[in-house]
Amino acid sequence: MPQTHARTCHICEANCGLLVEVEGRDILSIRGNPDHVLSRGHICPKGTAIADLQNDHDRLRRPVKKVDGQWREISWETAFAEIAGRLGELKGQGGKPAMYMGNPSAHDYGISTQVGQLRRAIGLKNIYSASTLDQIPHHVVQYHMYGHVSLAAVPDIDRCQHLIIIGGNPAASNGSIWTVPDFKKRVKEMQARDGKLIVVDPRRTETAKLADAHHFVKPGTDTALLIGILKSVFDGGHVDTSRLDDILDDSWADIAPAIADFDLDQLAVHCGIGKDVMQAMAADLAADQPAAIYGRMGVSVCEFGTLNQWLIQVINIATGNLDREGGTMVPEPALDTINLVGRGSVRKTDTVRGEMPVIMGELPTITLADEMLREDEERIRALFVITGNPVLSAPDGAKLDTALEKLDLMVSFDMYVTETSRHADYILPPCGPLEKDHYPFFFGPLAVRNYASYSPAIFDIPEGEKADWEIIAELAREILASDGQDVPNIRPPRDVLDNMLQSSPAGLTLEEVEAAPNGIDLGPLRPCMADRLMTEDKQIQCAHPDFLAELQRFSASLADEQPDSLCLIGRRHVRSNNSWLHNSKRLLKGPERCTLMIHPDDAAARGLEDGGMATVTGRVNSVEIVVEITDDVMPGVVSIPHGFGHGRKGVGLSVAREKPGVSLNDLTDPESFDPLSGNAVLNATPVTVEPAMEIVAAE
């Protein structure tokens, strides 16, 4: 008999409610759950493709060990014992271990409940992760302004009347640091009530196509636009902080003078957006209606990423939109991590690249390859990669390829032999996705409504397989035991989850949440900033000295000559997710997706033809890629999606290898970074583009 299970999708931050129809262990269909309290029936093609992940023949079912260049299945006991033994030996010789945690670990709450134990067992204070290729600037800003790295205010799209999205493409990404399933319909609803969506992006994206207005911006220059908007708010007499006056600290008064000397005309030239547009944006955000400005990857993974995210907060404050219904608000989710974990930290540490920021114990991933390649006793000799693929995700993947080969021990927690895990000595694969339970641990606190939704596993874990959390917990115990240390009992993720739910203000039990397969709606977001601030004086620290100093660094950089090379940016597609999901036939179908988008004028100037091959060369490397001529990208800008490049030797992804593409991160440059957060610069990479040399067959 077919059975239908309600389940939340774990692939992206939207966490859509799905209906999974199964018979025995066969998946008959996966569709959107119309009754889910948050996603209201929305689903994207990746949700349906969970069936392909569950059934993928390339997915490893047993631990494997590399022996003479070949993968051999071994038992879990042997794998754990050998890894613990080799780690112990290495550490005995003074060898340094490290860990990289990839994006999917943020989508598996079970991992979060156990990984601390593994870190302690290995002896790691800090780790590398996808956060420093992504959102780490948000955490720096939230830490300083609101007193907690995770106190994030998200746009209340369901009541907003004027929304500016700068450097985000939720129509493809389904939202980020903003859990907003069903984004397109929410935009349509906003427009139906006369609200407006404005998009700022160097590409006319899927989101831009939904918008009431779209402005091209030169990659990497948004700081000029944001300062221009803020200055126009002050100069136009639009400041209205009345709602927040009790919680703004004295440093609010430092902001207007700090931007007073910027010249709107110069800012406009720098970013390519006219000062009239800046002034109109300021007036619209400050008009008598709830409004919000929101910025994501396009303004985070750049040299002034932290400054950008600070300016966005300040604009929302200045226009009276922070902590306002229809503006931006901090959610109050059923599981409120803010009160349960510490405020986080913002520090500096010595690295092979000199002093670098460490935010919440996150070392900059741009330094990882160099730390493995250094030749002193500080060299990283053992690396644990938990659910990530940095060879494709981090700048200069080719250098990482070289560096990973130098390790004395590498362990990948992954179900595939990927571009990264192919370098491992051991791969520890988790069970299938529908054999795990799910809770939106990190994304409930970022959702457009307050809610809770728990999904039990649909299938039992087959004999001999394990969930990620079990693998992590058991390896941690083995390492502690072999080191002669006390071995604590494992606390199952469900117990931790139940405890955290009950300790949160909503006070729900896991049993109550589980009894509601469509989720529990706790209502729309509410202004609550005054209660939630975790700064010492319970006030918003408006202008931390680091941000003011960064304004000056930006000001000085305006005098720098801008290179006249082409500017490379990334892109995301709704049928792909970072470096994986390319092994699903149903997602891969359709036209070639790993193309170089280039404007017709730039193509003509270089003699490039649509569908022809181009060589793209940056400072670190060059790639050959199919050309796609389109005026969706602005002149001077070219775009390649990240996460491709499956043609590398030994990759065990048979479907993905049919359309391997090239890796954007063979062109991005780890030398560039945001000095306040250590974040990578993944956009605005200077490149040259020319027709690829044709190979003429010998006569």
User: Residues in the site for ligand SF4, rule: CB under 6 A?
Assistant: 9, 11-12, 14-16, 43-44, 46-47, 174, 181
In the bound state with ligand MGD, the residue whose beta carbon lies nearer, of 15 and 251, is 15
**Cβ proximity to ligand SF4, 44 vs 410, nearer residue:** 44
DSSP state of 251: G
Neighbour tally for 562: CB within 10 Å: 14
d(CA 123, CA 112): 17
Residue whose beta carbon is closest to ligand MGD: 298
Place of tokens 């800008």: 637
**Whole-number Å distance between alpha carbons of 681 and 659:** 27
Q: Which is nearer to ligand SF4, 52 or 371 (CB)?
A: 52
For ligand SF4, give the closer residue by CB, 15 or 365: 15
279 binding ligand MGD? (CB under 6 A): no
Judged by beta carbon distances under 5 to 8 A according to partner kind, the member of Mo ion, ligand MGD, ligand SF4, none in contact with residue 251 is none
Q: How far is the CB of 47 from ligand SF4 (least distance, A)?
A: 3
Q: Which does 9 bind (CB under 5 to 8 A by kind): ligand MGD, ligand SF4, Mo ion, none?
A: ligand SF4
Residue given tokens 């043609």 in the structure block: 647
Nearer of residues 11 and 152 to ligand SF4, judged by Cβ: 11
Shortest Å, Cβ 394 to ligand MGD = 7
What is the Cα–Cα distance from 95 to 111, expressed in whole angstroms? 26
3-class DSSP state of 229: helix
When binding is defined by CB under 6 A, the residue of 161, 418, 504, 677 that contacts ligand MGD is 418
**N- to C-terminal Cα distance for the chain?**
66
435-494 binders of ligand MGD (CB under 6 A) = 468
219: partner contacted, choices ligand SF4, ligand MGD, Mo ion, none (Cβ within 5-8 A by kind): ligand MGD
Q: Which CB atom, from 13 or from 674, has the smaller least distance to ligand SF4? A: 13
- Interaction site with Mo ion (CB under 5 A): 134
Closest CB to ligand MGD among 297 and 352? 297
Report how far Cα 428 is from the mean position of its chain's Cα atoms: 24
- 578 forms part of the interface with ligand MGD (CB under 6 A): yes
The 3-class SS string of 489-538 reads CCCCHHHHHHHHHHHCCCCCCHHHHHCCCCCEEEEECCCCHHHHCCCCCC
- Check residue 422 and report its DSSP letter: G
Looking at 95, 147, 202, 618, which residue binds ligand MGD (CB under 6 A)? 202
Q: Measured between alpha carbons, how far is 434 from 53 in angstroms, rounded to an integer?
A: 9
* Shortest Cβ 49–ligand SF4 spacing (Å): 8
Q: Which does 298 bind (CB under 5 to 8 A by kind): ligand MGD, ligand SF4, Mo ion, none?
A: ligand MGD
Which of the choices ligand SF4, ligand MGD, Mo ion, none does residue 43 contact, using the CB cut-off of 5 to 8 A by kind?
ligand SF4
Calpha distance 262→269 (Å, rounded): 12
Residue 108 binding: pick among Mo ion, ligand MGD, ligand SF4, none (C-beta 5-8 Å cut-off by kind): ligand MGD
Q: Of these partners, Mo ion, ligand SF4, ligand MGD, none, which one is at the site of residue 16 (CB under 5 to 8 Å by kind)? A: ligand SF4
Greatest distance between any 2 Cα atoms in the chain: 82
- Give the C-alpha separation, 438 to 455, whole Å: 5
Among 117, 142, 321, 387, binds ligand MGD (CB under 6 A): 387
Using a 10 angstrom Cβ sphere, with 0-12 exposed, 13-18 middle and 19 or more buried, the burial of residue 697 is exposed
CA 22 – CA 20 distance, rounded (Å): 6
Beta strand 426-427 pairing with 64-67: antiparallel
- What length is written for the chain? 699
- The three-state secondary structure class of 217 is coil
* Helices (runs of H) and strands (runs of E) counted in the chain: 25, 29
Q: Which residues bind ligand MGD (CB under 6 A)?
A: 12-13, 102-104, 108, 130, 133-134, 166-170, 172-174, 176, 200-203, 205, 217, 219-220, 222, 296-299, 302, 387-390, 393, 413-416, 418, 430, 468, 569-574, 576-580, 642-643, 664-665, 668, 682-684
